[in-house]
């Protein structure tokens, strides 16, 4: 009889990376409109660290075991009734939906068909796992901030998953990019397209110039960075301070008094059109994968530990064999 179980990364209590383990759970079946994907790789994201540690328990709940994993690459294994846009064996990438929580850290995952896009030909599926999160950078710069050629862009957290994509896209969109990152990563962000790069631990916001667009990936010290906007400037953040969530979200809401200069906040939730647009930008050479380290599934905890330690260059990726 065919094995209907699969490997998945689980945790039975909130805590550090050590709570993660690889267990066996029932393999999902695609519901109408859904697609079953055989996962080849996924990346590690900051929101997963927060969920695993319990900082998002109001969202994730406290029922265990819980799952991790947001994005993924893989191949279509089966189609639910009415699922369209992909066929079996297509190479795809995507992310689980907000309402689905986590769960891509597994051998298989089911997702609505509209949450999948095709991976560009010739792009390795492990390397490609760094890129679904880049849809957040596309949305932030193109749609939320309307970045224009010749404008000055500041990217905070420029060596990370969204940040490195934002540096590449900012340069491709014709902006003059300034990057904030750790000292050890300054040469890295320069190779991505940053014209200026500063150590975020030694350079204060007040020591920087003014910018047309500020993209923040940290969520802290938002007032100090908002003050760096030129008249008519726009600031977008994809994070809030998890140590002071009420104050952080309160400031974002209150910043509406600045009108166009308010702090725009959003959480990435890509669907097919955005994933297909990402594929086009990869094909046009505007964006390339940035893989720091690849871990096997059994060492997912080590990948979490590495991301918590800081200093990532691009993304930590977990390979699913």
Domains of the chain: which residue ranges? 5-130+290-319, 134-265
How high is the pLDDT of residue 247?
Answer: 65
- Cα dihedral value 26, 270, 224, 52, nearest 10: 0
Output the CA–CA distances (angstroms, integers) from residue 222 to 39, 214, 252, 254, in the order listed: 37, 10, 8, 12
- To which residue do tokens 């079996």 refer? 88
Helix, strand, or coil here: 197?
strand
The terminus-to-terminus CA distance of the chain in angstroms comes to 22
- Ranges in the chain, pLDDT < 50: 1
Please give the structure tokens belonging to residue 115. 């949450």
Q: Is-contact 177 145, C-beta < 8 A?
A: no
Tell me the pairing of strands 71-79 and 91-95: antiparallel
The CATH code that applies to domain 134-265 is: 3.40.50.720
What phi and psi, each to the nearest 5 degrees, are found at residue 45? Answer: -120, 155
Strands 211-216 and 152-156: parallel
pLDDT of residue 243: 67
Cβ proximity of 145 and 236 under 8 Å: yes
Distance between CA atoms of residues 238 and 234, nearest Å: 14
> Do residues 162 and 181 lie in contact, with contact meaning Cβ atoms separated by under 8 Å?
no
CA angle 28, 32, 33 (to 5 degrees): 100
Domain 5-130+290-319 has CATH 3.90.180.10: yes
| CA 140/CA 235 separation, integer angstroms | 9
CB contact at 8 A, 205 and 221:
yes
**Which DSSP helix (H) or strand (E) runs through 233?**
strand 229-237
Buried b (16+ CB within 10 A) or exposed e, 14-39: beebebbebbebebbebeeebbbbbb
């Amino acid at each position: 009889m065919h094995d209907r179980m699969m490997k998945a990364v689980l945790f039975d209590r909130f805590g550090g990376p050590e709570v993660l383990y690889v267990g066996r759970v029932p393999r999902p079946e695609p519901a109408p409109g859904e697609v079953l994907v055989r996962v080849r790789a996924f990346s590690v994201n900051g929101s997963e660290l927060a969920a695993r540690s319990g900082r998002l328990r109001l969202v994730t709940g406290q029922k265990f075991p819980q799952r991790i994993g947001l994005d993924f690459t893989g191949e279509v294994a089966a189609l639910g009734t009415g699922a369209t846009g992909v066929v079996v064996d297509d190479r795809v990438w995507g992310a689980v939906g907000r309402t689905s929580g986590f769960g891509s850290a597994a051998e298989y995952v089911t997702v609505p068909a509209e949450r999948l896009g095709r991976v560009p030909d010739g792009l390795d599926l492990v390397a490609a796992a760094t890129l679904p999160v880049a849809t957040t950078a596309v949305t932030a710069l193109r749609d939320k901030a309307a970045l224009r050629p010749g404008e000055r862009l500041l990217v905070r957290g420029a060596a990370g998953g969204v940040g490195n994509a934002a540096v590449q896209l900012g340069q491709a969109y014709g902006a003059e990019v300034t990057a904030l990152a750790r000292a050890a990563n300054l040469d890295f962000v320069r190779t991505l397209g940053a014209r200026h790069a500063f150590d975020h631990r030694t350079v204060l916001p007040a020591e920087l110039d003014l910018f047309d667009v500020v993209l923040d990936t940290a969520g802290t010290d938002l007032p100090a960075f908002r003050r760096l906007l030129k008249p008519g400037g726009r600031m977008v953040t994809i994070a809030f301070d998890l140590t002071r969530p009420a104050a952080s979200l309160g400031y974002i809401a209150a910043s509406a008094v600045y009108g166009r200069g308010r702090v725009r906040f959003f959480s990435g939730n890509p669907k097919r059109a955005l994933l297909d647009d990402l594929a086009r930008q990869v094909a046009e050479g505007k964006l390339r994968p940035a893989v720091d380290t690849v871990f096997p599934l059994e060492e997912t905890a080590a990948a979490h530990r590495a991301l918590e330690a800081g200093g990532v260059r691009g993304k930590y990726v977990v390979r699913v064999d």
